[in-house]
Amino acid sequence: MNSSCVLLNGDYTFLCLLDWKKAMKLVFAGKVTILKYSDKLIRSVSGVFRMPTVLVLMKMVRSVYKRRVPFSKKNLLLRDRSACAYCGKSGKTLTIDHVIPKSKGGKTNFDNCVVCCQGCNHRKGSGTPRQAGMRLIKRPYQPTISEFVRIRLEQSGVYDLLADIGIC
């Protein structure tokens, strides 16, 4: 991990990453509680400190993280971790599948679209999953920005740290 700190909101949801200097300002201003320290030391005129890695705000702040992620193929791939919603296969030839087909009134949004491999897409044809005898591994849903941040955290390793202290 680098020298950035994780800042959690008052309800322990992820808020943002901070560099340690900003983090220390919040600590000295009494606005945060330190949940976890790193092994790194900070030397300053007033002494040596251990660098915090996870901080939680004393008060809740409203954040943009509860907002909905706009629909796009790129965002759909991110939500579904680039894996087919029917067989779990990942690869480069993934397409967007409308669970309820467009011809049957299915909408192009996060609640009706999943990532699908070519094989499953072909098998499903223009029917519903039930008609094709197929099952979704995971139901489609509208993700929030906070979930997308969490996916990025999983990829960066910060998630492991939060899971370690029982937050995620």
Site residues for Zn ion per CB under 5 A: 84, 86-87, 89, 117, 120
Minimum distance, C-beta of residue 163 to Zn ion, in the bound complex (Å)? 29
| Whole-number Cα distances in Å, 24 to 4, 6, 40, 76, 159 | 11, 12, 13, 37, 22
Q: Closer to Zn ion by CB, 38 or 90: give it.
A: 90
- 80 near 138, Cβ under 8 Å? yes
CB of 132 to Zn ion, least distance (A): 12
| Nearer CB in complex with Zn ion: 71/86 | 86
**151, 81 in Cβ contact below 8 A?**
yes
Residue closer to Zn ion, measured from CB, 56 or 120: 120
* C-beta closer to Zn ion: residue 56 or 84: 84
- What percent helix, strand, coil does the chain show, rounded to 5? 30, 30, 45
Q: Characterise 112 by phi-psi region: left (phi > 0), alpha (psi -120 to 50), beta (else).
A: alpha
Smallest gap from Cβ 149 to Zn ion, in A, equals 28
Shortest approach of Zn ion to residue 166 CB, angstroms?
Answer: 35
Where do the DSSP E strands lie in the chain?
A: 4-8, 14-19, 32-44, 47-57, 95-98, 113-116
